[in-house]
Amino acid sequence: MILLSFSISLFMVNSCMTHSLFTCEPMRVHWCHDMHYNNTFFPNMLDHYDQDIAAVMMKHFMPLANLRCSPDVHLFLCQAFVPECTEHTHVLRPCRELCERVVSDCSRDMLTFGISWPLELQCDRLESCHLSSDGSAVSSMEDTTTARGSLSANRDLGFWCPLQLKTRPGQGGTFLGAQDCAPPCDNMYLKPQEVRLAKTFIGVSSIVCLCATLFTFLTFLIDVKRFRYPERPIIFYAVCYSFVSLIYFVGFLLGNEAACNKPSLPGRVSTIVLGAQSRSCSLLFMLLYFFSTAGMVWWVILTITWFLAAGLKWSCEAIEKKAVWFHAVAWGLPGALTIVLLVLNKVEGDSISGVCFIGLYDLTALRWFVVAPLAAGVLAGLSLLLAGIVSLNRVRQVIQHDERNQEKLKKFMIRIGVFSGLYVIPLLALLGCYLYEQFRRSAWENTWINEHCQEYSIPCYYSSVDADRPELALFLMKYLMTLVVGISAVFWVSSKKTCSEWASFFNRTRKKDPISESRRVLQESCEFFLKHNSRVQHKSKHYKPSSHKLKVISKSMGTSTGIQTPVTSNHDNTPVSTAISNHNIPSQSVSDPHCFSETQRDSPPPAERRSKVDSSSRISSHAESLRRMTPKDDVLQSAHSANSQ
């Protein structure tokens, strides 16, 4: 019997006409054809908008009518699901006493079949019955079609949440003003192929932004002391947008897993996540809103530090002392706004990007928590930017005597001004997209309702509605401007110094030890020396080539052979070591005393007699030249001395 009832209901659903005309209409529900009336009115008291939905929902209670658990159960169900309409102006609804008798008589059977009584049919919500002339109870008559069902323009009843989009009560979801309702997961404004194109575009843009911001942050890690205030906020700003791009990339990988809810009941469709009931969606929202807002705040702090340096002539140390306050504002303000939005349950899924954000369907939240902070940040940043540019000439006048520093300051200020401008332009474009969406969203929603009212069996607009849909380029520009502000950070670190730092970083592991390199050069020089001077006969009693070579190598390596020869000047009895020590030359600078004496011997004799002061000066200058020699120069000098001998 239940299978037969289900088959009949499917037949009636397929044979019924479209949505209700919101006036008295012929009754087509088969279960109520034996009633004393044949006209009905929709929506009924259970918020069903036509007879199709009413027939599907009524079949769950038909076992009570078939069992005849109460003599009034059939009348009560028909009056509740398919109410009587008379004279095109009045609707006859079930009354309280009738409801109480049915509930009392059929309570046992409802427990047997597992039937729950709807909240809309609670007896205390119904009006009392009126007694007829014969003493029987008569249902109350309501004049509800006068305002709703007239043929005038007042028939526009606004948006009624379809049964397919209903959510569980208590979740706090609101869609187009309807409680416990959520928008469909399929995008309301774009076609499926346009959504796929937008997803690919967002994924590629997020990867580019992530690479750019990570490059900026890693450049900072290579040389932390390079980026000081007032340019330090650029690093934190890049870190914020690296998280933003990473979240968009995660949304691209997840698809609609986090942004949409799966159908909970047969006949329902996938809906957008509204509220904080989904942990994954809430987590994506918290990270995305927090870091996007923090990135904007760090840009404002960048303009503040730039103004302090250019306008108020603050030093880097003075600005750095305020870093604690900068961090408190940059991280505390976005954190407070994020907590407020979670408390207000304003989380919304985005079926295009796959992430969760705010203001996608709630214009009020978009206006106060996205557009207002963005406009305030743009206004404050531009004001400080212009003030810094005006004060730039004053700073140049203060240091006009120092041309080098003046030129460096000029380049630095122009660079940071251009960078701030590169951030402002995408920010202004993003603000324009949000404002345009604020003004046109209502027209887009009305167009969607008018196109899907028959599909969802909800009231259509009686008055003509001009079709108005957003272009795909608007959404692409909004997501691009959200991510491109992070890409601009890479232009600040793009310089020759950055290239040299990265080249040094990659070659650091392969770079040879300087001491080992010096030893290699010494060894090659000595081999060259021995090869080309093997025929030279050294007959000097106190000169030994092997000991000379050993002393050269050992002295260049910072070791000692234990042989020390006092060397004096040719013109004075003052030791060379005394002259060297008077000039503060370390002992490692001189490779060997013989090198110095032989070199001095090879020099041409003086043309005239010199005084002791001239001799001492010559020895000191020669010792200074020996101190500046590299290890390779020591070997060449030693080779030259040996050849002379």
Provide the pLDDT confidence category of residue 355 given band limits of 50, 70 and 90.
Answer: very high
Computed over every residue of the chain, the mean pLDDT equals 74
Report the pLDDT averaged over residues 369-375: 94
**Residues 450, 460: contact at Cβ < 8 Å?**
yes
Give every CB contact of residue 321 below 8 A, 6+ residues apart in sequence: none
Q: What is the largest distance, in Å, between two alpha-carbon atoms of the chain?
A: 156
- 275 CB-near residues (< 8 Å, 6+ apart): 171, 172, 173, 345, 347
Can you list the positions of beta strands (E) in 121-209?
130-131, 137-138, 141-142, 174-175, 178-179
- Two tokens at 37? 């009336």
Number of Cβ atoms within 10 Å of the Cβ of 205 = 22
d(CA 76, CA 70): 10
pLDDT of residue 486: 83
pLDDT of residue 306: 82
CA–CA gap between residue 518 and residue 339 (Å, rounded): 62
**Position 82: which residue type?**
V
Give tens-digit pLDDT for 524-534.
666 666 665 66
Tens digit of each residue's pLDDT (9 = 90 or more) over 109-163: 888 877 888 877 888 888 887 655 444 555 555 444 333 333 333 445 667 788 7
Helix (H) / strand (E) element for 357: namely strand 356-357
Q: What region does 159 belong to: left with phi over 0, alpha with psi -120 to 50, or beta? A: beta
| Residue 569 pLDDT | 37
How far apart are the C-alpha atoms of 101 and 136, rounded to whole Å? Answer: 13
Predicted confidence at residue 433, as pLDDT, reads: 94
| Phi and psi at residue 40, to the nearest 5° | -140, 175
Closest CA to 244 of 489, 420, 432, 491: 489
Q: Is the pLDDT of residue 566 over 90?
A: no
Look at residue 593 in the predicted model and tell me its pLDDT.
Answer: 34
Q: How many CB atoms lie within 10 A of CB 306?
A: 29
Residue 498 has pLDDT above 60, yes or no: yes
Cα separation, 583 vs 581, whole angstroms: 5
Q: What is the mean pLDDT of residues 205-221?
A: 91
Strand locations in 66-133, DSSP E? 84-86, 90-92, 130-131
Give the bridge partners for 179, in sequence order.
174
Rounded average pLDDT over 300-323? 86
Confidence class for position 615, pLDDT limits 50, 70, 90: very low
The values of phi and psi at residue 346, to 5°, are -105, 20
Query: Which range in 387-391, 474-478, 539-543, 620-624 is most confidently predicted, on average pLDDT?
Result: 474-478
Instruction: Tell me how far apart the alpha carbons of residues 623 and 583 are, in angstroms, rounded to a whole number.
Output: 9
CA distances (Å), origin 164, targets 10, 160, 161, 185:
17, 11, 8, 12
